[in-house]
A and B are shown apart, each in its own frame.
Chain A
Amino acid sequence: MSLTDLMTMAKTDKELRKRIFTKLWRAHPDECFQCMRCTSGCTSLKLLELKPHEIVLLVNSGFIQELVSSDIIWTCASCLKCRERCPQNASPYNTILELRNLAVEREAKIPEAYMKAIAQILETGLTQPEQTATTRDMQPQNREKLGLPKLPYANDKFKTVFMKILGG
Chain B
Amino acid sequence: MKAAVYWGCKIPTEQYAYEMSTRQVLPRFNIELVDLENVSCCGTPVRSVNTSAALYLSVRNLAIAGQTGLDNLLIPCNECHFMLSEARNRLDNDSEMQTKIQELLNEEGLEYPSNIKIWHTIDLLHDFVNIDTIRGKVRKPLEGLKFAVHPGCQIIRPSEIGRVDHPENPRKLDRLVEALGAQSIDYSEKLDCCGAALLYSHLDAALSLAGTKLRSVQTYGADGFVNTCPYCHTMYDARQKEAAATVGSKLTLSVVYYTQLLGHAIGIDHDKLGLHLNQSFDPERFTRRST
Per-position 1/0 for B253-279, Cβ under 8 A of A: 000000000000000000000101111
Per-position 1/0 for A132-168, Cβ under 8 A of B: 0111110001010011110111110110111011101
Cβ-based interface call for B27 (8 A): no
**Number of contacting residues on B, CB 8 A?**
64
A75 touches B201 (CB 8 A): yes
B279 touches A136 (CB 8 A): yes
Residues of B within 8 A of A115 (CB): 49
B199 touches A113 (CB 8 A): yes
Cβ-based interface call for A70 (8 A): no
Cβ-based interface call for A127 (8 A): yes
Per-position 1/0 for B11-44, Cβ under 8 A of A: 0111010011001000000000001111111001
B13 touches A126 (CB 8 A): yes
Residues of B within 8 A of A128 (CB): 9-10, 13-14
- A139 to B: closest C-beta gap in Å: 8
Give CA–CA (A128, B281) in the complex, Å.
25
Interface residues of A in 95-122 (CB under 8 A from B): 97-98, 100-101, 104, 110-111, 113-115, 117-118, 121
B157 touches A84 (CB 8 A): yes
Cβ-based interface call for A8 (8 A): no
Cβ-based interface call for A88 (8 A): no
- B192 to A: closest C-beta gap in Å: 7
Cβ-based interface call for B1 (8 A): no
Residues of B within 8 A of A48 (CB): 198, 202, 205
User: Most chain-B Cβ atoms within 10 A of its Cβ — which of A26, A143, A152?
Assistant: A152
Residues of B within 8 A of A114 (CB): 45, 48-49, 200
Q: Choose one: B20, B40, B168; the contact of A158 (CB below 8 Å).
A: B40
With A78-B197, A135-B277, A165-B56: A97-B40 Cβ-Cβ less than 8 Å: no
Residues of A within 8 A of B205 (CB): 44, 47-48, 75
A83 touches B157 (CB 8 A): yes
Residues of A within 8 A of B120 (CB): none
Q: Choose one: B16, B23, B50, B108; the contact of A165 (CB below 8 Å).
A: B50
Per-position 1/0 for B204-223, Cβ under 8 A of A: 01101100000000000000
Residues of A within 8 A of B199 (CB): 113
Residues of A within 8 A of B245 (CB): none
Cβ-based interface call for A17 (8 A): no
Give CA–CA (A27, B67) in the complex, Å.
32
Give CA–CA (A151, B104) in the complex, Å.
24
Residues of A within 8 A of B60 (CB): 158
- B45 to A: closest C-beta gap in Å: 4
Cβ-based interface call for A130 (8 A): yes
With A84-B158, A114-B200, A165-B104: A126-B51 Cβ-Cβ less than 8 Å: no
With A100-B49, A104-B50, A162-B57: A152-B157 Cβ-Cβ less than 8 Å: no
Give CA–CA (A136, B238) in the complex, Å.
10
Q: 8 closest Cβ contacts across the A-B interface?
A: A125-B40, A117-B45, A79-B193, A80-B157, A111-B201, A154-B40, A113-B200, A126-B9
Other than the given A79-B157, A98-B51, 7 more pairs (CB < 8 A) read: A43-B193, A74-B202, A76-B197, A114-B45, A136-B279, A152-B36, A155-B38
Q: Which residues of A contact B (CB under 8 A)?
A: 23, 25-26, 43-44, 47-48, 74-81, 83-84, 97-98, 100-101, 104, 110-111, 113-115, 117-118, 121, 125-131, 133-137, 141, 143, 146-149, 151-155, 157-158, 160-162, 164-166, 168
Q: Would you mind naming 19 contact pairs between A and B with Cβ atoms under 8 Å apart?
A: A43-B192, A74-B201, A77-B198, A81-B157, A84-B157, A111-B200, A113-B201, A118-B49, A121-B57, A125-B38, A126-B13, A136-B276, A136-B277, A143-B16, A146-B16, A148-B19, A148-B20, A161-B56, A165-B53
